[in-house]
A and B are shown apart, each in its own frame.
Chain A
Amino acid sequence: QKEVEQDPGPLSVPEGAIVSLNCTYSNSAFQYFMWYRQYSRKGPELLMYTYSSGNKEDGRFTAQVDKSSKYISLFIRDSQPSDSATYLCAMSPGYSSASKIIFGSGTRLSIRP
């Protein structure tokens, strides 16, 4: 069983919809949680990071962590076609990404105009 599980999708929603992306993890040592976005044939780019349970908001994006359930989510409000990409959850032990990051398999998201 993988340490980080993520539904691969694909997920297709109309423009303007609220998108919910989720991951579960099994290793309670994970303390630092991230969401990366990856466009086709590009490297991943960091969207958000958090290291505590609860919500963190940045513009249209909200990251949510529930350590007791080992569950993290990314919400995208007012989704745009430019949000179409693969979204990767990621996590690492300790309170930073100082060493290796463990990624989920990614969810392919398509926003229909």
Chain B
Amino acid sequence: DTGVSQDPRHKITKRGQNVTFRCDPISEHNRLYWYRQTLGQGPEFLTYFQNEAQLEKSRLLSNRFSAERPKGSFSTLEIQRTEQGDSAMYLCASSYGQDKETQYFGPGTRLLVL
């Protein structure tokens, strides 16, 4: 399977703990996006990278959230001092970077903060 992969698929943590998620984009896709989706809502944009450069961050991305894409391939999203409100599905997408390109989504990481 050469689609976008995310790990882990599920994560349960206690409030106050740090969590880290990984996203592996489709090979050769230079753009990588993170979204958050809560129950009954559409995905909300968090941030995106072109190669290793983080080009845009949503105001939803508080200072407890940090994303990296150190070598322009896989990306990590870390949440520090998790809160119950962080419980959501975290989706990663990638695209090739040409005009009219499609963002292909991964299966998501479902986070539950107790």
Q: Chain A: residues with CB nearer than 8 A to chain B?
A: 4, 6, 8, 32, 36, 41-46, 49, 51, 88, 90, 95-106
Say whether A101 contacts B45, CB under 8 Å: yes
Say whether B45 contacts A42, CB under 8 Å: no
Q: CA of A8 to CA of B39 in the docked complex: distance in angstroms?
A: 12
| A106 in contact with B41 given A43-B108, A100-B56 (CB within 8 Å) | yes
Is B32 positioned at the interface, with any CB of A under 8 Å from its CB?
A: no
Say whether B101 contacts A105, CB under 8 Å: no
Chain B residue at minimum C-beta to C-beta distance from A4 = B42
Q: Chain B: residues with CB nearer than 8 A to chain A?
A: 4, 31, 33, 40-45, 48, 55-56, 58, 91, 93, 95, 97-108, 110
Chain A residue at minimum C-beta to C-beta distance from B108 = A43
Q: Report the tally of A-B residue pairs with Cβ distances under 8 A.
A: 68
13 contacts between A and B (CB under 8 A): A41-B110, A42-B108, A45-B105, A90-B42, A95-B99, A96-B98, A97-B101, A99-B56, A100-B33, A100-B56, A101-B45, A102-B45, A106-B42
Which residues on B sit within 8 Å (CB–CB) of A95?
A: 99-100
| A44 in contact with B41 given A98-B97, A100-B58 (CB within 8 Å) | no
Say whether B48 contacts A99, CB under 8 Å: yes
Distance from A109 Cβ to chain B, minimum over Cβ atoms (Å): 14
Chain B residue at minimum C-beta to C-beta distance from A36 = B105
Say whether A96 contacts B43, CB under 8 Å: no
Which residues on A sit within 8 Å (CB–CB) of B107?
A: 41-43
Q: CA of A49 to CA of B95 in the docked complex: distance in angstroms?
A: 15
Chain B residue at minimum C-beta to C-beta distance from A8 = B40
